[in-house]
Each structure stands twice: as C-alpha cells, then as structure tokens.
Structure 1
Amino acid sequence: MSAITLEGVEKWFGEAQVIKGIDLEVEPGEFVVFVGPSGCGKSTLLRMIGGLEEISRGRLLIDGRDATAEPPSKRGLTMVFQSYALYPHMTVAENMGFSLKTAGAPRDEIGRKVAAAAEVLKLEPLLERQPKDLSGGQRQRVAIGRSIVRDPTAFLFDEPLSNLDAALRVEMRYEIAKLHQRLQKAMIYVTHDQVEAMTLADRIVVLDAGRIAQVGTPRELYERPADRFVAQFIGSPKMNVMPCRPRGESWEEAGVRGGGGAPAGAVELGVRPEHITLGSVGEGACDGTVDVVEYLGADTFLVVDAGDLGRITVRISGETARRPGERVGLVFDPQRLVFFGEDGRAV
C-alpha cells in the first residue's frame, strides 16, 4: 500500500488552473522530490497534500484511506517550512514538544519523544536554549525535530534550506539524508535547487506549468530525459541543444558535421557539457571560438561560440588551460546524444 496516492488531482483558483491532473504514488519510506521552475505549482501541490490548500478535483489517499476532505490535523502528516516558525519565548525542548502538549500528551511521553528526536538530530546540548541563541542550521533542525516527535506517516518539506548559506545547505542536506535513513519514513521535498533534488531523492518529480513532465530516479532523468524541458532543467550546466536533421544514417544542420544513429523525426540534437571533448579545428562535430573560461578547481567550463549553433558549454578538467579567443573543434560522444522532435519530446 502506498503511503500517499494522488489520483487526478487538480487545483483551480477561479478560472485559472494551476495543478492539472496529477497522478502519483509515494511508497512508504520513499524520498520524493518535487522540482521545477518558479510558478510550476510544486509548493501548491505540497500544500494540497498537507491540507493547507483545498483539492479542487481528484482524490488524495493516505495509507489507503481517502483523506481528500480531511483537515490537516487528521492526515497524520507534518510540514517543515522555509521559515522556522519557532516560538521565541520557548526553549528548544518546549518548541519541539509543543504540539504534543497541546494534544494533551502526558509529560513523561513528551519528554521521552523530545529526547529521542534530539538524539537523532544532535540537539541534546541545545535543549535549554532559546531560538535567538541558535544558528540558522540549528533552528532548522529544531523545526525538523518538532515534526519528528509527532511520528507522522510522512514528512513534507517546503524549501527548508532556502534561508541558509551555501555551507549550511550542504551540511543540512547531509543531515536530512541521514535522517531519512534512520526514520525510514516517506518524505516529499520541494526545492528549486536541482543539486538538492539529485543528491536527496529516490525519485524526482519534474513539474512544468502544473503538469508532471517526468518522474524517475535522478540517473533516469539525467541520462534519459523525456523531453527538452527536462533535459535542460536537470543538469548543471544545462544540456546543449542545437538544430539538426537526419540525412540517411547521419545528422547535420547549421554547421554540425554528421554522425551515426539519428532517429527519424529528429529536429534537435542534445549533448551534455561533459560529453564533449576538445579537438583540432576541423575535427569532430563543429568548430568554435572559446568565449568565456570559468575555472572551478577540479573542473573548467568553456563557453564556446559556435556561430549559427550558438554558445556551447563544455566541461573539461580544471588542469586543462584554455584562453578566450582560441579556436577549437568540438567532438561529441556519439553514444551520449539525445534527439528531440518537433514537439520537444525525445525521439
């Protein structure tokens, strides 16, 4: 039985439809990440699951029961928001145990559950502190601890790391991943950061304008994108896409020299930056001029002006020295090419 099931779920605000027929199953213990550009509906969909937004059409099942019309308090779910929303006058322990206290739980049960959550999140030394005495990462751990003590069916995370600096985000990604391993509870996590999506998820749900563009493991989405939108959204830097046309067993267009295996109906060719190597002028798929060099240490990104093909990003070793203005040939790995048709779907 799935932990959470969405059947034809829609959301309308007046005449505007923002969620357009979502069907999805989240298995017990699964970590599912909703990702997509701003305005795609990922936070709205999460709030619908949590009961903070009404479901206009369709059904929501939690542990097999119809929870479509249930209030948030009856769904057995818990949410962690971008804002920590801690009570400033309460200690860490009081904040974590407050929901149990309001539910009338015995004091010894509250203490036991708060202590267990604090141990998981390494908050034991901080239990008597107030939120003003904590760092951003510590406050977020307290907010997560407040959810753990309720022993929910599933955790819902709405961009919980957006307020943290880069170093803290890396640390908290690790903490959330370890937390999932320990608790083995279903988690649905909303983010616009594809690094968080790729590193945390068992499965990623890519949303585009209120619809599911593709669902799959991080590797499936990266290596076998369903369409151009997913191909260019997943991956950093994004996939290079350029026009092409099949010609027999080869493809060519706008200066791209052909290679094998182009499917019928292809009008665009996609290749990721790491699947391009540098060669001599006249060698490979096309030639270009190095426009920008972005040195990142282990890697260097080259932005190559390839004329009518536009700018092509190439990932090379950081030990390789290149200068703006150099002419280079670009060699595409023929086994790693992706082709798209007129409708943008992979062919």
Structure 2
Amino acid sequence: MAGIELKSVEKWYGDAQVIKGVDLAVEEGEFVIFVGPSGCGKSTLLRMIAGLEETSRGQIVIGGRDATAEPPAERGLAMVFQSYALYPHMSVRENMGFSLKSAGAPKEEIAAKVDEAARVLKLEPLLERRPKDLSGGQRQRVAIGRSIVRDPTAFLFDEPLSNLDAALRVEMRYEIAKLHQALGSTMIYVTHDQVEAMTLADRIVVLEAGRISQVGSPRELYERPGNLFVAQFIGSPKMNVMPADVDGLRLADPMPPEARHVGIRPEHITLTAPGDGQLDGTVDVLEYLGADTYVIVDCGAAGKLTVRALGDTGLTPGASCGLAFEPTQIHAFGVEGLALR
C-alpha cells in the first residue's frame, strides 16, 4: 500500500489546458472518488496517476517517491477499466494469473495468489470457466481479481460499473466496498454515479473544468457544500436554489447582506397550507416513487422547487400549497457562488 500525492499537476494538449494545477494528498489505505460532469478531467487525472497520460507540469508522488516520469509498469499500480478486457480463450484462472505468468513468477506462487484472490471475490466455483460463460458482474470481478494478484500499491478504477445493469451495479458496489475493507488498500475511483460516490468513498473529490471544486467526506459535501456548483452537483434530486432577494420569499432569519442565492434541499422542505411557509406555489408535477413522492412546485420568480415528501401527499397538479423550510438547513451563497453558511 502507498499514499499518493499530486503537487500542482497540470495537463496540456497543445494550447488547451485540461487539468489546471491540482493539489491532492490521498492517504495510505484511503478510498477516494473523483466525480464531476463530463469533460471535467476526472478520467484524465486518473490516467495521469497511472502513467497512461503524460504529466505536463507538477509532480506525482507514490509511496514517497517521485513517480512523475516513471512508466506505468514501474508505478506499482493496478487499473480496472469499465471494459473487462479479458482474454476470451483463457479460463478465469488463466486470466487472473496471466500478468504473473508473463513476469516469470513460479507456478506455485501464481496458483496461491489466484486462489486467494478468488476466495476474496467468491470466484472459486468459476475458475475453470471462460469469460463467455460469465455474467457481466462476474467478468468485472475477474478483472478486479487480475489486479489483486499483482499485489499493487494502489488500485485505480475508471468507471468500472458503467457497463452493468442496475441490479448488478448494486451487487458490485457492495463487492467493492467489502474488497476495500478486506484489503485495506489505497483506492482511487472515477465515477459519474453519485450513489457510488456517496456510499463507497472515504473522501470525494469534486472536479469542475479541470480544477478541484471541493474535497471532503460524503457527509461534509452534502451537508456543507463549499459553493453553488457542489451544492447542486452532490445530491439527487439536487439542492433547490433561488435568488436571495426573490419576491415572495419570507425567511424568519435574514440572510447575510452579501448573500446572492439561497439553497434548501428537497427533504428539508415541508408542504403546508398557502401562507404558512417561506414560499407559496402551485403543484406542477408529482413523481410517486412508493416510499417517497417528489413534488415539483412552481413558485413563480423563485423557480420550480422540488420537495421530497413521504409516501403519497394527496395533492394533485394545479393545487396551491406553501413550502416551509427547516431554519437550520437553509444555505446562503455569496459572490461567485461561495458558501456563506
């Protein structure tokens, strides 16, 4: 295992800068997840750590040594891609042990490491099968097992669950969480799926246009977003945001004078009678999900706000209602979208 540190890392393609001075320290044994919109640079940054992309400026330090100029094979890292990249003519056992065989490891060592990885990933009954006989989740576990046998200093995952259906994603998310608990290895994981990020990560790195917008635990980013971008990126449905001076907004406690926007999450709004809350509006759409109902309320100049209500609300589109905000859960954002409270 090893910690990984990025020092003022930049990536340029000609005159285009895609990674803009990233500083980040990943502690030994930590599970860090990169998230952000398409084109923000999260996969590029991961590939730079792996050595698959050249670092234009800055340093990449792995286990205390400067690995910036090292080729991928010398960095001691294992990368798992969204495509399984298994050899179709080889068995699961042969696929998992191929890198060790290529490196000239003794047969006994290869067999022992493959058996141990298969035990951790519950692949023992599948060792003699070919990839075509496996489900998508099983193939991804084989790809992870192929990385485990190399005993890497850290694991790098590039959207490994993107090719799986919803049920398999849930299953594999659990498998990866258990794997991290069992191995205690340093892991860096790229995803666009917020559920993966919120449930797996020790810390989340939110990237925006090649820069780090905020780093923190899932709870920190959800409860204390540092800016408007993080506030609306983390959370599903996203945080409701409206101008601080919008007509019709009745807040018991005044916002700081420098506030430009007010934010409130859907679960921190209660539906009331008109006039009883902080805003009034008209029900636009109801999304019934069983345990929850998302009520989208048209609040005029404040925009359309989403309310997360328990069960069925009894409301219908066109009904008038009030929205009551939990006073301790109201967020204020100032100039350039920075959080004020």
**Shift in Å, 1:319:** 3.7
- 1:313-344 alpha-carbon deviations (Å, 9 max, x no partner): 00000143221111100001110011111211
Shift of the 2–101 alpha-carbon distance from structure 1 to 2, 3 Å rule, reads closer
- 1:127 maps onto 2:127 in alignment: yes
SS in 2 for 1:329: strand
- 1:95 maps onto 2:88 in alignment: no
- 1:152-200 alpha-carbon deviations (Å, 9 max, x no partner): 0100000000000000000000000000000000000000011100000
- 1:304 maps onto 2:297 in alignment: yes
Shift of the 89–146 alpha-carbon distance from structure 1 to 2, 3 Å rule, reads same
SS in 1 for 2:337: coil
Output the amino acid matched with 1:299: D
Output the amino acid matched with 1:102: S
In the alignment, what sits opposite 1:250? none
SS in 1 for 2:339: coil
Output the amino acid matched with 2:325: F
**Which structure 1 residue ranges, 5 or more long, are not aligned?**
246-252
1:258-337 equivalences under 5 Å are 258-337=251-330
**Which structure 2 residue ranges, 5 or more long, are not aligned?**
none
Answer whether contact 2:80 2:143 (CA < 8 A) is retained: yes
In the alignment, what sits opposite 1:343? 336
In the alignment, what sits opposite 1:249? none
- 1:238-279 alpha-carbon deviations (Å, 9 max, x no partner): 00000014xxxxxxx222112205123001100000000011
- 1:119-173 alpha-carbon deviations (Å, 9 max, x no partner): 0000000000000000000000000000000000100000000000000000000
Structure-2 separation of matches of 1:194 and 1:200: 10
Output the amino acid matched with 2:204: I
Structure-1 separation of matches of 2:44 and 2:248: 44
In the alignment, what sits opposite 2:141? 141
SS in 1 for 2:171: helix
**Shift in Å, 1:297:** 1.1
TM-score by length of 2: 0.98
In the alignment, what sits opposite 1:60? 60
- 1:231 maps onto 2:231 in alignment: yes
Answer whether contact 1:244 1:254 (CA < 8 A) is retained: no
**Shift in Å, 1:2:** 6.1
SS in 2 for 1:343: helix
Output the amino acid matched with 2:238: K
Answer whether contact 1:2 1:25 (CA < 8 A) is retained: no
Query: What is the number of equivalent residue pairs in this alignment?
Result: 340
In the alignment, what sits opposite 1:73? 73
Output the amino acid matched with 1:326: A
Aligned alpha-carbon RMSD (Å)? 1.0
SS in 1 for 2:213: strand
Structure-1 separation of matches of 2:291 and 2:105: 53
Structure-2 separation of matches of 1:254 and 1:241: 14
In the alignment, what sits opposite 1:13? 13
- 1:268-297 alpha-carbon deviations (Å, 9 max, x no partner): 100000000011111111111111110111
